[in-house]
Structure 1
């Protein structure tokens, strides 16, 4: 049970839950086989290889490819592989079982990196849905989605990618040459909503595009200082009736934005 946390030990946890007998695809046509170097470059750049790495795939990646990737990654805290067919009437139950097992591994791991590999938009959407229902992802859990689908085919996943600590790795085939783009979906009404933060080519390898780093912080905690001032005075003009005024001032000091001043005047007749 603790073997996932053992340094320098590769734990391969293969959960093959398919409803049909599938033929193993050719390695050169597999997304993960093509993106092997890119995935390793991204993970090593942000020290993700010091965490447990969990792979999710839709049964289109051969076991040979996974063993090659695992051997190339050399993740020090173990690798888990979860495989499920993207079709079949029992897909929801299958994904629920996968998320339950993966969540157990996350709970006993110091840190976790999740990589989902698929060229099927329906499978990616199902993964997004069941990862939320299964409470697989936390902000400390980094998610890397690897696909050959164009960005225009993934607009329905914008909300999922924007609220999680996630990046999207898209492989492009330009005149027979592999080129990869790394994208980040920003929350709220950020302009632009999707930012290309890095690119990869066999010649230039991984190159950061601009000022936004890999897996950037999307949400910031605002520190507020609240000062309460309470003052009052009494009117004793009439001995039978005493009027007391309470003046409550609230000053909110924000470290990032301008100060906000609120004043409430409450009058009580006694």
Structure 2
């Protein structure tokens, strides 16, 4: 029968939140991981980051933007409807889940969320709160109407700073400007930044955190397609190594990510011709070595 949609909420014109009945996933999910959603037998596999989980109720929260046929179809489903496949948790948990709590207490962490990236930031900040840790959050959006989960974030974060590109709400400017303002004008000191959002936003934010000498983690969930390493869509260069976001990540050292190559691949992957060219250019490294397709890392 599949997994039942327990509740559904429309956050903006094209962003939706759903709570899905998935006890096994809820039981083992950790911040930073994702699920694969397949609406029906003919539907494509859609990787979505876990936005929250309730182990007692056995539910998992997903937040998604309608960008194609599959997410549009998903948005049309109602409470009580069923999703054929809801598989997970997949990917590696956030790195701080494995760190010593006492050591984390001595660090000032800032989470920086852009657009829909606010959704995967939330469970990470919630985990901090549950473990007695404080964290600041910066939420960036193009305009006021596109700001999501602000109240939820305020319930788990020490400080929440909101900025809009058009100045319609909160700080007038981009997230890079807001972080620079907090550090240089408000004398904030951060030991680590976690950045999740559109690729171009993460690129420029990493340039800013490098300038401010703040070690940075990014989540490359935005480039995942298949979720197994088989399709080659999320192949990314991290320093001098080739990695795959869906298997090795989705979190990586933001200062080592080759964002320009990742964005070029993201653009090429949209066409069949582009995918064929990437496969030709990259040879055996086009697929992950553990995907079962014969590629080597």
Which category of TM-score, normalised to the shorter sequence, fits these structures?
A: 0.3 to 0.5
Larger radius of gyration: 1
Greater percentage in helix:
2
- TM-score normalised per structure 2: 0.32
Greater percentage in strand:
1
